[in-house]
Structure 1
């Protein structure tokens, strides 16, 4: 039962009202006529109005109110009534992002809100939903999202997935064709209801297959080994498969495919030789799969993929909303009060177990299409866009395409549009068709290098690896395809050196630690992000523009990488680079007295010490760099985000206070000037350099560097003529704002013009 005012609410009039209020101030907005006072709503609720009952209950919720304490909506409403300021309740229809519907006809209007006064927060928001076969369009807008089938393995959900793939293959010009590819060395033939799956050695056979992305979560009860290979070539009992694998087999069958690839059933787990061979091709496995099934919510192999949630959890209380004032009773959508938060793909990519596993990043990045299984529904992501079973998207349609990593995804998969260049529907196809090769190559590599460092490397370092020695190998599939893009777009000699690219080595060096997790000294050199076991970040502005050329820029002279196995991008025994660069001595200075003009000239991010004792925590580091005295701000690890360009204010330094500093000698290597900022690395001399104990560290060595490879670097492993000192990286410096030295101001971004730079050749380990 509804009261007369609630019964009059309809979709058509709500849309017309929203359009009429477009561009109008709140004071002049027209309001939907509803109950005027709290007592009126209570009376209607007591008379049996289901909608008013929900509204009364919602008014007991808390509202954040300045100065940031919580009060109940009911108290705020009654207070405004006592003061004669109440304007009654308002009713609005909303899309994904705003109260006012977008003009784009693909917009979904999926909520009706009840509020009062000028508060943007509303006490009651009801979700609109309808079955897929009963979705209505009003005034050019889809009304409501699709009702979800609670059984993720149902035929309804499988049909949705098949339709997504069909649409992608037939209409998405950004996406590769669904066609036969050379199969991996082994695949699982999924069998049928009458036959168990089995391992199929492919011997170069072509076909279509699906890959599984999952979390191991510890020991897996069944795996391919040298002992089980012959048995599994005959059959793998479905009863023996852990839930994740069993569900993946069932899905592959229901989606119409014969072949499935699962790492621990297609690579022999007790053969180092087989692992070395197959691990080099894992990136290609996900790249060539028709799509990848992502077991997003399963933390271990026994959790399962095909969950069923109770319909009540997402449906809750349901009330019919008419499409128009005089419409037929069957022309309605359901207004639903959800009992739990509705998940979306962003939640899965950020919060669920699969998002925390190191190996799965390259599986996501390299897959052209991914079918995600969440707690509540299924999702689809391809190079064109993403879909959810409920039809909702958290962003505007124009911002869809791949959720992230679109630069590399666009370039490692051959778009259908390149085969039909006159039919342009892809930004990438448009770029390829309408730009010169030189311009396109330049833009491609700049964007790719930015995405590689700021997104993929940062994301990867935030994830966990069961075996920390997998740091390189679990990223090698991405590296292989990034290399191919660089080679094809103007950098044919670029080499991968323990995490950085020789063609863009300076960009690869300007990262910093985001937490205090001790690094792995044996796994990677100090200058490589791969040495870390925790989160890192790159300077947020470092990729906004090209570096400015200066006379003191560093040059990569040579490199030395010793691999631990056959994979050229896998585990290493050691790595070092030789750099010809410009350096200055930096010392912590005791008894520097601040004055009113003292202001930090930038940031210093100390690396985590390898002895596990953490790093410097003092807020400021006072030092003498060359001939200049500097105050450098040392952000707290949890607050060290260079995206905050405001920096510390002058008030951070108390006037006439003596700041003590540890008088340790470091060397700063100039890395790059970029507009009004500069980047450098803090280095420390490695103990054991003969004759260096009593030196200042500023002497010029007599280095002989020999001939370089075409890419500008060469291995110096056997070069006995090169005489140089060896350093470790211990920090990163970023300078931007002006700083004071006595009564004189210096521009930090003119760091490259300072006197005192010495040119030398350094061995960095």
Structure 2
């Protein structure tokens, strides 16, 4: 049964309205399909059996997201909130494109796959015209779906995404994965050859689908074949791992029941793809042999780089969880999908369905997985993802693909806001895959751009520091595969996370959040970004070309294991020569009057607080230069705080007056010359704390000087310092 309003609805009518008025994710104000005059009449129609009205009411009833914070409270669903708070709840339907960004015009939409259902009109938020803005009506979405073997098109638009099987191990998902792999392996000239140039020290021989168990294979010298690698979260200790005492036993066979769920599923996937060899770290590296781990960890880059395909257990938090999961919509599917016609002339239908848990914001996509999934929060995963030329991602409800040609989703989602951003590194790829070019055809590899390669390195460090490690001692080892592959192209010496060839920019890392506290257990020298487990980024690179500002005189890094020059370190120092100035860090105040007569030259970004409970308060802190009144020569910098901020601190922090001012040394990294975009002069410096040994310092922060005349650097002192 279907009501009159729903009988009159078709996709072409919605497109006609969109061509009059459309803006990505915004509810149209004037051009839409008018449905029932109120939410009450919509609910009545649903109660009387209209199948499409049932879907709309279900979407309102099951939505409780922050998108509707003005209407729904924690104890109220959106349907109840609309009835209680919204005066005019006229139901209006429009069409949207899931893959586009907010405010995108219709011309950029290639696929239309959402019904946008709003209840009510735009409302003024205030009677004051200067403060008011238009607030959108409460809105929910239904999805448009079509069978995988029947893609739909209306005019220039694809209509609906493909229905997918939530059983990730199903024959249909295996067929999708095989098609992706085959297309990449045989038709993507821009992707590396699928044939490896090296083979792991050990792999699992998974046999065929008829085999019950698998075994550990130690191949003979020269053996080479296509193999699969697994990227996964351990999530804690794993009982059955490769040990010295089980090395011979595993070669005889590994019982199926002794494999964790993730490993069982990885074996099933490998077999279903028609492949025989699978590499899993816990089963292919001897876990109680430090020397074996040290040797094998140096091979990580080549191991993932040469894998035919990497299985990414993206949504699995622990090894016992399993790659194949049962999404919530299987247990609570909601009302069944219904069909609507493409147009009054074209009776072909497209399915209209609810979202999982009734809410579009909770629907899985690869962009969300790259930000929030367990695996993509794991430090080791970054290099595994970047180094792998082909990745088969397993989410909760869908499978996904990544190769150098881009992302794909089993439901046919198009590029845009459903896929990750900044996940491709062309300069690094030209380094990684130069020897894997198809048939020796290097034209498929982008020529190396060293400046771009360094930019990608610093972007990777930023991405890496967003992730967590089970053992922070792995800070450098978990990044070592990337550093190893970049080294030949960059040249020079790798110094515990930074490059001697780019020492000024390498030293310029800074906190991205409140602090970049140095780890209590030694991980790296104080001047390396690896000394902190907080998020860091790097300053603008344009001013780091001139090497006269700072010279690397000498360096020494003592490795924890000589077999891995990119891994953990026991100690390290660099000796540099450059311009210095004294800086006092104080809780003394600088009044507004003083600020008007004294130039504020920027801000100091301290790695750690000066006292417990300190907040960064950058807007309340000022860097000023003290000048000798008689000679006019610069004496030192001082970081003072705004008097208002001091008053606030006194009210909240005990013992503030007992915190003494402290002297530091500022070391110039680079000068910032005026540009067309920014006419201000200045410089980037690191802040150093003197140690008991003469001329030995530790890094404690970064100083950005803005509006500081370059001529004033002539008053700085040239020194040679040892940084540890």
8 Å contact from structure 2 (residues 111, 158) kept in 1: yes
8 Å contact from structure 1 (residues 386, 401) kept in 2: no
Aligned pair in 2 of structure 1 residues 335, 521: CA closer, same or farther (>3 Å)? closer
8 Å contact from structure 1 (residues 62, 73) kept in 2: no
Deviation string, structure 1 residues 249-274 (Cα, Å, up to 9, x no partner): 11111011111111122122222332
Aligned twin of 1:111: 114
Aligned twin of 2:126: none
Give, in whole Å, the separation in 2 of the partners of 1:245 and 1:472: 27
Aligned twin of 1:468: 472
Deviation string, structure 1 residues 326-362 (Cα, Å, up to 9, x no partner): 443x633233343252111122222122123222221
> Could you tell me how far 1:407 is from its partner in structure 2?
4.2
Aligned twin of 2:698: 728
Q: Tell me whether 1:321 sits opposite 2:319 in the alignment.
A: no
Aligned pair in 2 of structure 1 residues 26, 577: CA closer, same or farther (>3 Å)? closer
Give, in whole Å, the separation in 2 of the partners of 1:579 and 1:182: 41
Deviation string, structure 1 residues 693-719 (Cα, Å, up to 9, x no partner): xxxxxxxxxxxxxxxxxxxxxxxxxxx
> Could you tell me how far 1:113 is from its partner in structure 2?
1.1
Q: Which runs of 5+ in 2 are unaligned?
A: 123-134, 628-633, 651-655, 674-679
Aligned twin of 1:181: 197
Aligned pair in 2 of structure 1 residues 2, 27: CA closer, same or farther (>3 Å)? closer
Of 647, 662, 665, which residue of structure 2 is paired with 1:664?
662
Q: Tell me whether 1:445 sits opposite 2:446 in the alignment.
A: no
Give, in whole Å, the separation in 1 of the partners of 2:516 and 2:398: 37
Give, in whole Å, the separation in 2 of the partners of 1:227 and 1:75: 64
Aligned pair in 2 of structure 1 residues 310, 516: CA closer, same or farther (>3 Å)? closer
Structure 1 residues 286-301: aligned runs within 5 Å = 286-301=304-319
User: Secondary structure of 1:301's partner?
Assistant: coil
Aligned pair in 2 of structure 1 residues 665, 64: CA closer, same or farther (>3 Å)? closer
8 Å contact from structure 1 (residues 281, 477) kept in 2: yes
The two structures have a TM-score, normalised by structure 1, of 0.78
Give, in whole Å, the separation in 1 of the partners of 2:688 and 2:428: 33
Deviation string, structure 1 residues 561-613 (Cα, Å, up to 9, x no partner): 1222121112222111110110011224675542344474322122238x997
Give, in whole Å, the separation in 1 of the partners of 2:71 and 2:42: 26
> Could you tell me how far 1:500 is from its partner in structure 2?
0.5
> Could you tell me how far 1:49 is from its partner in structure 2?
2.5
Instruction: Point out the more displaced range, 288-297 or 51-60.
Output: 51-60
Of 161, 173, 190, which residue of structure 2 is paired with 1:145?
161
User: Secondary structure of 1:207's partner?
Assistant: coil
Aligned pair in 2 of structure 1 residues 612, 411: CA closer, same or farther (>3 Å)? farther
Q: Tell me whether 1:456 sits opposite 2:460 in the alignment.
A: yes
Aligned twin of 2:128: none
Give, in whole Å, the separation in 2 of the partners of 1:664 and 1:631: 10
Q: Which runs of 5+ in 1 are unaligned?
A: 433-440, 487-492, 635-647, 690-724, 737-746
Aligned pair in 2 of structure 1 residues 159, 632: CA closer, same or farther (>3 Å)? farther
Instruction: Point out the more displaced range, 528-537 or 260-269.
Output: 528-537
8 Å contact from structure 2 (residues 14, 32) kept in 1: no
> Could you tell me how far 1:199 is from its partner in structure 2?
1.6
> For the aligned residues, what is the CA RMSD?
3.7
Aligned length: 668
> Could you tell me how far 1:42 is from its partner in structure 2?
5.0
8 Å contact from structure 1 (residues 313, 338) kept in 2: no
Aligned pair in 2 of structure 1 residues 593, 379: CA closer, same or farther (>3 Å)? closer
Of 551, 556, 561, which residue of structure 1 is paired with 2:557?
561
8 Å contact from structure 2 (residues 576, 721) kept in 1: yes
Aligned pair in 2 of structure 1 residues 672, 109: CA closer, same or farther (>3 Å)? same
The two structures have a TM-score, normalised by structure 2, of 0.82
> Could you tell me how far 1:161 is from its partner in structure 2?
0.7
Deviation string, structure 1 residues 16-60 (Cα, Å, up to 9, x no partner): 331233699999943324334456545544543233345456667
Give, in whole Å, the separation in 1 of the partners of 2:661 and 2:646: 20
Deviation string, structure 1 residues 601-639 (Cα, Å, up to 9, x no partner): 322122238x997878665366656727766589xxxxx
8 Å contact from structure 2 (residues 316, 323) kept in 1: yes
Give, in whole Å, the separation in 2 of the partners of 1:387 and 1:67: 33
